[in-house]
Structure 1
Amino acid sequence: MYEGLYRKLPSTKAYLDRIGMDAPQEPDEAYLDRLILAHQYQVPFENIDTSDKHLTVSLDTEVIFDKIVIRKRGGCCFELNALFLKLLTALGFDAWACRCRVLRGKDFFPPSSHRAALVRLNDGIYFCDVGYGGPQPACAVKVEDGSQKSSAGQTFRIRREDDYWWTLLYMSKSGPEETMQFTMMPEDEVDFVPLSHFCFTHPDSFFSSGERVISRRIPGGSVSIEDNLFTRVLDGVREEAVITDEEQYRKLLIQEFGIKL
């Protein structure tokens, strides 16, 4: 019933070509950092299938591969980080999925609704994420209390909460911001089926509202669409434009996100 979740990548090379990367000579931290940044530059976070087309999100490997690699779309965390994990293991990394709860912007204790990846390197375990709308680390961050790392003009820190949970903090100009919590316990692919269903169907979930969310990291900042508002942040300068019609929306998708519907 869930066989499609466990299929291998149809083509590792095609995936690397999609994000403009070569295979590593050595699967180390330096390569992992470049891989994450390249992925965030090339593959946007987007929920167009559910917001615009009212489709069900499939977690089958071949379906996600066709969407992201062949058709050059983006996806949500359950798609992006699932496929990214397959890429990591295909490249020789010791990697597994982890469950997360998003804290940013919440005034309550939220349920788990996000997935990321953990990678074991020679000196420890690293947190990796290419499927969060932002802010997200543009690199791998070592899972160690007080560990801190900067990339692409942003800094993130890890804080240990207890025996099970760790918190990722975004070090903004106004101070540390709790972004998400994650657990290091390995999660199986099938464990994300009910979490994905919750995110896209439960009335308390943001994504069930049908609001359009698209974002991509660019050198020096980011571009995003939230509902009918396009935003570009470049070198700290923020520009906004209201999307007034379908033609303008589709032009922005092509020009800013590389998405052709």
Structure 2
Amino acid sequence: MAFNIAIYLNRIRLARVPTTVDGLVALQQAQMRAIPFENIDVLLGYIPNLTENSIWAKLINARRGGYCFELNKLFGLALEALGFTIKPILGRVRMGAVEGGPRTHQAFIVTIEGVDWLADAGFGGPAPIKPLRIDTEELQAAGRDVFRLRADSASGELVVERKNGNEWFALYGFDRATALPSDFEGANFICARWDRSPFPSSLMMSVLTAEGTANLFNKDFSMIRNQTEETETLKTKTELQRLLSDVFRLRLPRSTIDSL
């Protein structure tokens, strides 16, 4: 299928996107607001289909979300359709660990006027809400949060780190090797089926809001509102359905809620 950029931009509620840094920031944030990170299908035992037709049917037509391979596949198609220069990469998730695991996170290096940016609409949770400039180790603000890219000589990677209080928390590491479609297919299978992957056993959801990020991990929900973090523990299926509808804007049948 031919990627319909007009329908995509309508889905994420964005009128136009120039091939500039400001345009890249606007595109990443608009998709993160409109299309949530969610691993519902994987939790229910399915392996996400990464073909363009399947991604379009799920994220655009059915107005669902997805996890990194789905979200960033769509994001990458949009970047290409808009004329950005991109390189798809695979990163090693750390989530605070000294070393990363297998290469199971998709992102992009986007080059604009000779400068490389890390663009990522699919990490969810603690991820930066705007692209990070790659050629510096200086601190970079993204909304309420501060990030840096630290060179790790042991792995040869740049590590995306988020400042949590006085500590630096490693999210994932990456290098500049170009990832191929077969790499994403293999990594997608690992994420969906490996017993050490978190996705088949825990519900994880995240969406960008006007005030911050809303996150759901199993029954624990958190949301930034009025500069403060509100938390809630879900107790019933009705509460889950309300949250999925009102916050994550997902219209799921009751049978899916029952399965979750």
Q: Normalising to structure 2: TM-score of the pair?
A: 0.90
Matched, 1:253 2:236: no
Query: Given that residues 23 and 91 in structure 1 are in contact (C-alpha distance below 8 angstroms), is that contact kept between their aligned partners in structure 2?
Result: no
The answer to whether the aligner puts 1:192 opposite 2:184 as a matched pair is yes
Deviations 1:16-60 (A, max 9, x none): 111111232x30101111111111111110011122x32221111
**Residues 212 and 223, structure 2, Cα contact 8 Å, conserved in 1:** yes
Per-residue deviation at 1:101?
0.7
Cα RMSD over matched residues?
Answer: 1.8
Matched, 1:41 2:62: no
Q: Take 1:93 and 1:86, find their aligned partners in 2: how far apart are those partners?
A: 10
Q: 1:58 to 1:110 in 2, by over 3 A?
A: same
- Of 140-149 and 118-127, more deviation after overlay is shown by 140-149
Give the structure 1 partner of residue 68 of structure 2. Answer: 77
Give the percent of matched residue pairs that are identical in Structure 1 and Structure 2.
Answer: 25
Residue correspondence of structure 1 range 149-228 to structure 2 within 5 A: 149-162=140-153, 164-209=156-201, 211-228=202-219
Q: Kindly tell me: are residues 159 and 197 of structure 1, through their superposed partners in 2, closer, same or farther at Cα, counting changes over 3 Å?
A: same
Give the equivalent residue in structure 2 for 1:16.
9
- Mapped contact 2:140–2:147 kept (Cα < 8 A): yes
Q: What residue number does 1:4 align with?
A: none
Give the Cα separation in 1 of the matches to 2:16 and 2:139: 27
- 5+ long unaligned stretches in structure 1: 1-6
Query: What secondary structure is seen at the aligned counterpart in 1 of 2:91?
Result: strand
**1:138 is matched with which residue?**
129
Q: Is the 8 A contact 2:46 2:192 kept in 1?
A: no
Q: Is the 8 A contact 2:125 2:215 kept in 1?
A: no
Return the alpha-carbon distance in structure 2 between the equivalents of residues 151 and 231 of structure 1.
19
What secondary structure is seen at the aligned counterpart in 1 of 2:235? coil
State how far apart, in whole Å, the 1-side matches of 2:213 and 2:162 are. 16
Given that 1:47 and 1:212 are in contact with CA atoms closer than 8 Å, whether structure 2 keeps it comes out as yes
- How many Å separate the matches in 2 of 1:18 and 1:43? 8
Alpha-carbon shift at residue 171 of structure 1 (Å): 2.4
- Following the alignment from structure 1 to structure 2, what is the Cα–Cα distance between the partners of residues 96 and 109? 21
Shift of 1:8: 4.6
User: CA contact under 8 A between 2:36 and 2:205: conserved in structure 1?
Assistant: yes
Q: What one-letter code is carried by the residue in structure 2 that aligns with 1:13?
A: A
How many Å apart are 1:239 and its aligned residue? 2.1
- Counterpart of 2:102 (choices 89, 107, 111) is 111
Deviation, 1:215, is 1.0
Q: Does 1:30 align with 2:18?
A: no
| Alignment partner, residue 3 of structure 1 | none
